Amino acid sequence: MPDTNKPAFDRPVDCVSGIGPKSAALLANLGIVTVRDLLFHFPRDYQDRRHVTPIANATEGDAVTVEAEVVRARMVRLRRRMSLAEVTIRDGTGEMKATWFGRGFLAKAFRPGVKALFSGPVGKYNGLALKNPDYEILSGDEEDRLHTGRIVPIYRLTEKVTQRMLRRWVFAALDAFGRHAPETLPKDLCSRHGYPPAAEALQTVHFPDSLDAARAARNRFAYEELLGIQIGVLSVRAGRHSEETGIRHVVDGPGLAAFRASLPFALTSAQSRCVADILEDMASPRPMVRLLQGDVGCGKTVVALHAVVAAADGGFQTALMAPTEILAEQHALVLREWLAPLDLEVMLLTGSTRGASKTRRAVAAGKCPVVVGTHALIQEKTEFHNLGLAIIDEQHRFGVLQRGRLVEKGLNPDMLHMTATPIPRTLAITVYGGMDVSVIDELPPGRQPVRTRLVAPEKVAELYAYVCDQARAGRQTYFICPLVEESDKRELKAVTTHYDELSAGLFADLRTALIHGRLPGPEKDAVMHGFKSGEIDVLFSTTVIEVGIDVPNATTVIIEDAAQFGLTQLHQLRGRIGRGPEQSHCFLLGDPKTDDGKRRLEAMCATHSGFDIAEEDLKLRGPGEFHGVRQAGLSDLRAADLVRDVRILDQARRDALEILERDPRLEDPIHAHLADVARRFQSINA
């Protein structure tokens, strides 16, 4: 279509027949402001109402479509000013009722002798009855059937907007403007993949003749969205790879050689591969932007330390930023232990660091080669002498601007992002696709998978006895609860109550301790040191220990009210154990009340791989709940689904690479729309 048609497609939604100012205000709650928004508000599901069931064959519990004649209709007054529409209908096989609770006024719409289609569940009301069915009064014009007698679209709604209203408005918009839908995919791609033109696909996705046709139409728009995003991701990456304004680090210096010689173990092949990736980046003139992804306990820290020492060999500083004080404190402890033999000092800078001004002066003067901290690192008063490497741990917990402020502390420093949070492959390709990615996909030798099982309430006493046996054998246990203190609103186990009761009861002979986020920093440090050194048998905690602490002697973790936690978080908590040669066990307590809760616990018991856990979590929660998705602009995808569209995403990525190879700057007019999508994605992720 010519460009003159585009303004019509982008008119306010109240220009559609049947939509007035009040209806437009309601639609705005769904993000529908223009005709384009309405037509791209795709169905979330479909119901096949093409097959008519004789009334005589209708069975309670079935969902049926009945074609029948109205015998009589009346409004029944109920209590509290409520009413019921009761319509008796019949066909050649029998008679039944159709009822609409709370909508007595509908009785006026059904005069005796009127023929209509009724679709809904069969229940009982003085015999068999259709409960709140959709209906379509038959006027003889087959084209007017929207709500039954066909494959019917089911939309996401908002308050005071019904399925019938939305179907009518979409139908009217398609009739008036659908033919003006701009063609936004290059013809060769449509032809290659068998996708219909935009106008045809819009009509089909809303009112399809078959479910296969609906799926093909939706796939066309999903592909278009993912292709634009992949072009944006890959353009960012290509632009960064063409830069030569970074630091050429020394990657064969004496410090790195000494560090490698000091390692008491051999790196796994995956660790060695990731180290090689990182050092290759650091030796190049382009700034490194790499994501180091690995399951809990896979050894990411020792990989990152190679980068820290390489930066120090060239006289550059390293900043490691963590999302919480407790994690920053743990990182500082670990780095000091590893780097002390190399005479590399590690300083800590957080919001509660004593002598923070002195630390900042040392960092600004270049007297501190490695500084570990929280958001304090990106405060205006924190300055670096020559920051050459920025490491961000659990980087999805920081916003784009926060990560950018750390980079601005140096002159194009290399950046290494780390995460132990499992990332589904589709999200890794989209949210993190502009980075170079290194994955540690194997555990160090001698590590055994943690055995996980759900413990029934009647078996809890046996579990506590097991904890006592483990303590007598010199093994340690984590005891995780979702809350710090009891709550009137949530009937969940509180860690303070559990600690008090068990420490004075069944665990009276054990050395127990309590840790949670409300404790002062020095107290948390003391507890962590005590547990790590083996002075504590059972550590009661909230999720404050989710990441960071490494205690090889801890072989048991008990998670109370386990169904309250997300699947990825459960996997993170399980990752606190299994770090030594002994077999470790994770016990999940609680009685899940929802199907999703049951599925999470079943997945935990059946799956050890963080990557598999991530895929299952994505299916359960959807992409909108994952860190980074919203800020990356992916939470408002209209057609694409990052759970089910893996194949389409892979194809879109291959096609994006091919397009950018032919037209790196997207200057060809046929790529104008894709260039717009790419620019929007780049502006969000800049």
pLDDT means over runs of 10, the chain (686 residues): 55 93 93 93 89 92 92 89 92 94 89 90 92 83 70 89 91 92 88 92 95 93 89 80 82 95 92 96 92 84 96 96 83 91 93 87 94 91 95 69 79 89 68 78 80 92 95 95 64 80 93 87 80 92 72 92 86 86 92 84 86 75 54 63 79 90 88 81 58
Q: How many residues does the chain have?
A: 686
User: What pLDDT sits at residue 2?
Assistant: 35
Distance between CA atoms of residues 613 and 319, nearest Å: 31
User: Is CATH 3.40.50.620 the classification given to domain 254-440?
Assistant: no
Specify the pLDDT at position 345.
94
May I ask the CATH class of domain 1-48+162-181? mainly alpha
Which pLDDT score, from 0 to 100, does residue 463 have? 95
- Judged by phi (left if over 0) then psi (alpha if -120 to 50, else beta), residue 614 lies in alpha
Instruction: Check: CB of residue 227 under 8 Å from CB of residue 655.
Output: yes
Residue range 545-588, pLDDT digits in tens: 765 567 889 999 999 999 888 888 888 889 888 888 889 999 99
- Which residues lie below 8 Å from residue 144, measured CB to CB, with a gap of 6+? 136
**Which amino acid appears at position 538 of this protein?**
V
Q: What number of H helices and E strands is found in the chain?
A: 22, 21
Q: Are 335 and 370 in contact (CB under 8 A)?
A: yes
Query: Which whole-number Å values give the CA distances from 198 to 13, 185, 186, in the listed order?
Result: 19, 8, 11
C-alpha span between 81 and 105 (Å, rounded): 13
pLDDT confidence of residue 4: 42
- Options 2.40.50.140, 1.10.1740.10, 3.40.50.1970, 3.40.50.300; CATH for 51-149 is 2.40.50.140
Burial of 188 (0-12, 13-18, 19+ CB in 10 A): exposed
- Integer Cα distance of 614 and 125 in angstroms: 47
Q: Where does CATH 1.10.150 sit in the chain?
A: 1-48+162-181
Name the residue among 406, 379, 412, 408 with its Cα closest to residue 393. Answer: 406
| Predicted pLDDT at 492 | 61
CA distances from 344 to 233, 332, 376, 451 (A): 37, 12, 21, 39
Query: What pLDDT shows up at residue 631?
Result: 47
Spatial separation of the C-alpha atoms in residues 588 and 463, rounded to whole Å = 11
pLDDT of residue 442: 81
* Main-chain dihedrals φ then ψ at residue 48, nearest 5 degrees: -85, 105
- Sign for the CA dihedral angle at 593, 594, 600, 604 comes to positive
Q: What pLDDT is recorded for position 422?
A: 67
Q: Give kind and range of the element (H or E) at residue 89.
A: strand 83-90
- Using CA atoms, how far apart are residues 604 and 619, in angstroms rounded to an integer? 14
pTM for this entry: 0.68
CATH 3.40.50.300 location in the chain: 254-440, 451-607
> Can you read off the two tokens belonging to residue 225?
């969205």
Q: Please, which residues have CB within 8 angstroms of residue 546's CB and are 6 or more apart in sequence? A: 569, 572, 573, 576
- What is the domain class of 451-607 according to CATH? alpha beta
Question: Which 3 state secondary structure label does DSSP give 625?
Answer: helix
Q: Which amino acid is at 651?
A: Q
User: What is the number of other CB atoms lying within 10 angstroms of the CB of residue 154?
Assistant: 13
Burial 267-278, CB ≥16 within 10 A → b, else e: bbebbebbbebb
CB burial of 564-595 (b: ≥16 within 10 Å; e: otherwise) equals bbebbbbbbbbbbbbbbebebbbbbbbebeee
